[in-house]
Structures are given as C-alpha cells and as structure tokens.
Structure 1
C-alpha cells in the first residue's frame, strides 16, 4: 500500500511515487535471521521499559531497526547484529529526543548530552547521565559492547560516535540561526549528521571484518566512506521529508536546501536531489572498482560491507513505518504502508564530473588515471 497520510491530512509536498533509485549492485538482500533479531530486540526494549507508554512504544518499534540491520548486514553474525540492532533502537530514541528540543539552549543541550554519552562509552559507570530506563539500557549496551569489541574496534566506534555528536551539534547550531544553509555548508556536515562512521563500524564488527588503520584511513577509502554516507543521507532526506514537513522554519534537509538554492518548490527540487545522489553513486562505483583491484581479503570484504549498507538502507526506508506512515499525519503507525520504490540501472545524471560542491569535490581527486 502507498505511504499513509490519512484522509484529512495534507498530501506529500514532494509527491508519490518517488523516482527510481539508481544502484548498480545487488539489491533487496536481507539476513535469514531477521525475524529472530526483531523478536529478541523487542524483548530487550521491553525488559528495560525503554518507552513510557504504548503509543511511544509503537512509534519506537516503527523505526524497524532490526529490519534495517538485517538489510545492511545481510550475511553477518547474529550476536553482534543483535547488539547493533539494540543500539539503533536506542539511538532512534535519542535522535527523537534531540529533534524535540526548542529554544536557545538546544545546541548546548545536544553538546552536553553528547559529551556525557561519549564519556559513558569510554568510562562505564562514570555517572554522567540521570538514572532511569534510558540510562540503564545504555549501560547494558556499553557493557556488552566493550566485552564484544576489540580495543581497536571500540576506539573506532567511539570516534564514530564523536563524529556523529559533532555533526548533530553543528546542525542544531545552524538551525538556531534560523537561516537555511547554503549547499556547500550543508553538505560539509551531512555525512557526520547521518552517523556514517558509527554505523559502518558496526557493519564491519557484525561481518567480522578487520581492516588495518593505515588502509581504512587512507584518503581513497575515506572518500568512499564519505560518498556512501552522502548517498544514504540523500535517501534519508527524501524518505524522511514528509515526517518533518510540519516544522517551522523548514527542516534543514537536502530537498529544502536545494529548493532555496534553485528558487523552486520541494517537488521541483527533487530531480536535483537525485542528480547529486546519482553522481555520487557513479563516483562510488568508480572508486570502489579502483580499490578492489589491489584489495586483500579484508579490504575486499569491507568494500562489500559498505555496498550492502547503502542498498540495504534504501530498501529499509521503503517499508519502515516511521517514514511511510509519518507521525505528523497518523496517530499510530499504519501497518503495510510503503513507498513501493523502484530501482534503476542508470543514473538520472550520467555526468562523471565532480559535484559542484567544494566540500565534496575531493572525492574525485582520489581516482587514479585509469579510473578517471
């Protein structure tokens, strides 16, 4: 069934159905233990009483975090995937808390809460967060994460969390200015806002991948990481547009940024969003092929993992009730709601040139002569 907007609510400003999503790799993969992961994740949520009432629980489960993890890690080990899924349910609750803030202290609150969260992961038992179900669940996640991950993985995860918090603080600071940012300023932090490095660390953990730091943090691999994060962010900004379109001023979303940039409506800006996305996919494919030529087993598996993250995230958003039956139009999630997306084998913009965004143009500089 189509996205659920209800008989007495406004239609989508960007329209439906959405244009096809270009992706030249495998699509619609899902882990065979997806149902088990969801059942065990929900049992964990209920054991900690993470949501205060039935309505909040319904919307919390509508994030479908276990489905997301099952799609972005379609061949992973179940136990780390379970922990990853529980982290995602918890993080969605944190994200909703962040988005609910208003007033001049909002950036300060995000920065303060984020610093306490990071330190709690680094130093369990630091006592920096107030007691309650939310903190108890976090303490459980932290203890099990520190037991499961190697020291290197834990450091990478912590840095990914730090990058995510920095992005969230930068975004809320920009929102407080009350002015829609320009495209370059917006793009510069969007990968961080999307928790790219936090999520990809978990993908590697769940897949049992260990890429040495000198390879993982090389410029070409980091460019691939950023490109993947931007593609996922573009998709998220499209899928989440309707659930946030009641905000005033308008949410800092790529659709709204481009609508201002081009002086058009949100619906008219959608092709420009897809053009940026698809040119990023083309760059991703060229850079991935280049890296694969000299890759050892671990890097090759990491490239597969990043690839699965992107396509799995798009497929996840398709049927996640958080997006397909947005809360600003529905009292409760509507079962069966879906965007019914289509895939495309060709980009909407076939250009091989760098995007006209200085903060992102360095990705194309990582292509060697044979890949240009």
Structure 2
C-alpha cells in the first residue's frame, strides 16, 4: 500500500466547469519567496507548504481577481493549510489539544490586533504579516467577519479533536452541519471579500437564502474534501497501524449505516450531488436581485465547487500524505453535467432547511 494506493470515485455531478486564474505561476513564485523569508520555518515545512498549490486552489475560486490583491488570500491559504496539516491532523490528538488551543487563540488575537507580538510559534510571524496587509484594505466589518470566521473554525476543530482523542465517530446529523466549520469554509471565503474590495451589505449576507447558499457551498466542498482525501486517510492509517479516523463523510456513513466502503463512497457522492444541485437551483433564484458585492460572493461560491474538485484531485497534500512519499495515493474521478435522479432533501435534520421552499 505504501507504494501506491488507488481510490476510484463515481462520477460527480457539477454543471459548472472549473476556471483558472491566469497568473497562478506568478502567485506561486511570490508565495514561495514570501514564506522563504520566514527563517523559523524548516525546509520540510516550506516544501509541504509549496506542494499544497494554494495559487491553484484560490485561483479557481477567484479566477478573475486582481493578482496583487489575490496574493493576500493565496498567502493565507499557504500558511493555514500547513496549520491544518501539522497541528490539526497529524500526531496523537490528546497531545495536540493543548498546543493547538494555545496557537489557535494566538492566531485569532494577531488577526484581530495585528500589532500583537508574534511570540510562541513560527506560524505567528506570517499570520501577523497577513493581518497587517489585510488591515490596509479591509473595512472594520470585513476584519470582524474574518476574525469571527477563524474562531468558528477553531472551535469546530476542537470538537473534531475531541472525537479523535476519544476514538469516537460523530452522528451524521452532527457531522453534516459542523463539517463546513472544520473545513474552514467561512475563514477561507472571508478573504475573498477583502480581495474584492467591496463590503457585502449585512442584510444581504445574513438573509436566510444567502446563509443557505453559503452553508451548501462550504459543506459540499468539505464533503468533496472527504472523498478525495479518503485515500490519504487510508494510507496514514495503514502506515501507522491504526484504523481510519471516523472524521470523514465516508467513515461516518459506513459506520452509521453499516455499509461496505464502496457503498459508503457511492452514498457520499450521491449526497454531494444533491447538495450541488440544490446550490445551483437556489443560486439561480437569488443572484438576479443581489447587489454587485453579493453577486461576486455568490460567484466565488459557485466557482468553489468545481474548482475544489479539480484542485483536490491534483493536490500534493492528498497524493503525498506526509510530504515524504510522492504519489503514494492516487484518486480518480470524473464529473458529469447530468443532474442526479433524486434531488430531494436528504434525511439529515440539521441541514434539511436548505430545501425550505420559502427561501428566495
């Protein structure tokens, strides 16, 4: 298995093709130069950060963004993917809990108050630089949204690590509404609003239909992460002599419904297809009457779905699970524009409101 694990996924419904930013190579070089300037990071850490292809990830979300401004989001993504890998996913969870909690609170404080001294962890220096750069562009509301989004992410990660430490598997109903947060959905897109340079009116951003679209997009992307990272989970479990974590959609479905792995993967893809179909149907009703800043935000959410799929199947963080075994995992998948046969709400109470017929 350590010489090459292969996972094949059923076709995924997605009506929108992925888009790419024309300056991804420029963004990649600038990010590489930027993180290299922080001498407290090891060469292995730097190699893994470069291998995550954050220009490709964020370039697919905002393919038309101004390159200089998009650099901010790409640099943030580079640092936070490393934070996720090194502090949230790897190592014994019980021993990670204290250091992770300490680092997470320091990160949010530095983002909130950029002049806070970056003491305690090598990651805090680049976070402080990001916070200072963002402060030049972001409105007070955008900065507040960014900080609150990070707090939501870190709280959800602590919930996740609690399950990892206990060796328990959450219920599907809980996992479905929390996965958007453990995947840093709001934290990720909070930078897009800053890059765009226009503040989305609060009454629009918090409208029920827009909240539903936000949660749909973040959850779908996170569930897709679970699909194309499942090979990584299996590879790590095999190399460590353990069982796969119960913190992935495939494992939650497999264990809760007593399915085979193949059937759990198929059911996970079906769920993603239903979510995708609902997102685009609702987006098409909301977008025509949205303000320009909200339309841009909805477009970013729409690009996230095909972009995340396209990027995730190529990213080294899933093909090279520990940064030392290139091509250890290969995940194959295709997309289809044929809608799923069943577009009804899935039997998951915590997310059923996304199909509320009164949402407009």
**TM-score, normalised with respect to structure 2:** 0.91
Q: Which digits, 9 at most, give the CA deviation of each residue in 1:81-134, with x for residues without a partner?
A: 111111111101111222224253533433332122111111233347416x42
Q: Verify: 1:42 aligned to 2:38, yes or no.
A: no
Q: Which residue of 1 aligns with 2:297?
A: 302
Any idea what SS the aligned residue of 2:285 has?
A: helix
Q: Which digits, 9 at most, give the CA deviation of each residue in 1:106-165, with x for residues without a partner?
A: 33433332122111111233347416x422222211211222211111111111111111
Q: Which residue of 2 aligns with 1:350?
A: 341
Aligned pairs for 1:7-46 within 5 A: 8-9=3-4, 11-12=5-6, 15-16=7-8, 18-25=9-16, 27-46=17-36
- Structure 2 distance, partners of 1:267, 1:129, is 47
| The 10-residue stretch of structure 1 (138-147 or 217-226) with the greater mean CA deviation from structure 2 | 138-147
Q: Verify: 1:225 aligned to 2:218, yes or no.
A: no
| The 10-residue stretch of structure 1 (201-210 or 67-76) with the greater mean CA deviation from structure 2 | 201-210
| 1:171 positional shift | 0.8
Q: Verify: 1:153 aligned to 2:147, yes or no.
A: no
> Could you tell me which of 189, 192, 196 is aligned with 2:181?
192
Q: Verify: 1:171 aligned to 2:160, yes or no.
A: yes
Name the Cα RMSD after superposition: 2.3
Q: Which digits, 9 at most, give the CA deviation of each residue in 1:173-217, with x for residues without a partner?
A: 122221111211211210101111111122232233432001101
Q: Is the 8 A contact 1:234 1:254 kept in 2?
A: yes
Q: Which residue of 1 aligns with 2:281?
A: 286
Q: Which digits, 9 at most, give the CA deviation of each residue in 1:226-263, with x for residues without a partner?
A: 00011101110011111122333422110111111221
User: What stretches of structure 1 of length at least 5 have no aligned partner?
Assistant: none
- Structure 1 distance, partners of 2:30, 2:168, is 43
- Which structure has greater helix proportion? 2
The runs of 4+ residues in structure 1 deviating greater than 6 Å are none
Aligned pairs for 1:63-102 within 5 A: 63-98=52-87, 99-102=89-92
Q: Is the 8 A contact 2:118 2:128 kept in 1?
A: no
